[in-house]
Amino acid sequence: MLYYIILTQVCGLKCIYCMNEPNPRVMPIHLEVDVEKIRRFISRDPEAVICFYGGDPSMRGDLVRLIMDRVPAKHYVIQTNGVMLHRLGDSYIRRFDTILLSIDGGREVTDYYRGRGVYDKVLDRARYVRSVGFRGDLVARMAVSSKTDIYREVTHLLFLDGLFSHVHWQLDVLWDYPPMQRYSDFDSWLERYNEGVSRLVRLWIREMENGNVLGIAPFKGLMWSMLTGERRRYLRCGSGIDAFAIATDGRILACPIAPEFRFNVVGHIDRDLPENLPGRAVVGEPCRSCSYFDLCGGRCLFTNKTMFWGEDGFHKVCRTVFHLIDELERIRPRVVELVREGIVSLGDIKYPPYTNSVEIIP
């Protein structure tokens, strides 16, 4: 299972869709759980994957190093804005299997959402991790909002000196109230977004004709399921099923982003065992009776439970999922042929290779 460990609520940036507001009433600002307790809890699981999470977990390099030294795991993962990543130490950087760096595309949108100079800083850190010998999966993790041209930003990151192995994105939707506050005309934006996804799908299959499987995480994850017949009747992010978060006070959360919601608190490190946690928080309607559920898996537990944008807003966002799946279904027969002809292999398409915190459905 995947275990997020929330090291701190603190982050050095103030991105417009997050605003970075650490709140000690929700949980302690920094991790207060004894690392030995974490070791005892996680070491029951021989398949453990640890993902450091925040805030920005790189702000607590001391805890990252301590946990990597004391708590065994099959894979180590970190989700970070990158600003402090170089302080972790080269030998620890090399031990990660996946590093997810937050960057929203080109300089213009990244700096607009995240602050001036952030784009250059993140690229500097991406080059740094490669220069010290990191050979793992370097994921460009984008937030996609009103200023994003999805085709432009994804292709920019994909072809950036081969730095990033994968590009993944999450839509800036459904997690705030009032709804759609960062969009002047959400419906038109959605249409443009869907058109951009179609262009990306066309690019993806064109490249595949030459034996090149571009690392577009949502496409790979979904296409793998389509090719293998995998029916994913649970969340692809794994929240509440095979992914849990340890909050700074030791509570166990199904999803790492929402310690303040009761539905999300599924246990405590002092009282529960990992093997007893799955199934305590699961997606409900409208996902369970949706005809796309087998492939979508429910998209997001948090938004399914909170419904901040109401049913109408929720269904609008589902249109992006329908569109993505339909577009990939359209090219599936050609992908099957390309695999059969040996131009690409199934292994090239499989993603993620283990639950690595990439949610797959944007």
Q: Could you list the residues that contact ligand SF4 (CB under 6 A)?
A: 235, 237, 239, 255, 257, 286-287, 290, 292-293, 296, 298-302, 318, 321, 359
Of residues 204 and 293, the one with the C-beta less far from ligand SF4? 293
CB of 326 to ligand SF4, least distance (A): 11
Judged by beta carbon, residue 58 or residue 355, the one nearer ligand SF4 is: 355
**C-alpha separations of 324 from 26, 145, 290, 352, 358 in Å:** 36, 17, 15, 18, 17
Complex with ligand SF4: residue 155 or 225, whichever CB lies closer: 225
Of the pair 64, 222, the CB lying nearest ligand SF4 is at 222
What is the distance between the alpha carbons of residues 153 and 144, in angstroms, rounded to a whole number?
Answer: 9
Residue 99 bridge partners (DSSP): 78, 138
- Shortest distance (Å) from residue 257 CB to ligand SF4: 5
* Closest distance of CB 9 from ligand SF4, Å: 16
User: What sign does the dihedral 278-283-289-295 (CA atoms) show?
Assistant: negative
Adjacent-strand bridge partners of 140:
101, 167
| Residue ranges of E strands in the chain | 2-6, 49-53, 75-80, 98-102, 137-144, 166-171, 243-246, 251-253, 265-268
CB of 128 vs ligand SF4, minimal distance in Å: 27
Is residue 355 within 8 A of residue 238, CB to CB? The reply is yes
The label of the residue with tokens 């937050």 reads: 102
Cβ nearer to ligand SF4, comparing 4 with 96: 4
Task: Give the Cα-Cα-Cα angle 247, 251, 253 (nearest 5 degrees).
Answer: 70
CB 304, min distance to ligand SF4, A: 7
| Cβ-based nearer residue to ligand SF4, 121 or 141 | 141
Query: For the chain, how many residues are written?
Result: 362
Q: How far is the CB of 290 from ligand SF4 (least distance, A)?
A: 3
Q: Which is nearer to ligand SF4, 12 or 286 (CB)?
A: 286
The one-character DSSP state at 55 is S
Pairing relationship of beta strands 137-144 and 166-171 according to DSSP bridges: parallel
Q: In whole angstroms, give the CA distance from residue 137 to residue 131.
A: 14
Write 260-263 long-range contacts (CB < 8 A, 24+).
260/23, 260/26, 261/302, 261/305, 261/306, 263/305
Q: CB-wise, 156 or 305, nearer to ligand SF4?
A: 305
Is the CB of 38 or the CB of 325 nearer to ligand SF4? 325
Q: Terminus-to-terminus CA distance in the chain, angstroms?
A: 21
In the complex, least distance from residue 153 CB atom to ligand SF4, rounded to whole angstroms: 20
Among 296, 174, 289, CA closest to 234: 296
Residue at token pair 């589902």: 318
**Smallest separation, CB 2 to ligand SF4 (Å):** 10
User: In whole angstroms, how close is the CB of 234 to ligand SF4 at the nearest point?
Assistant: 11
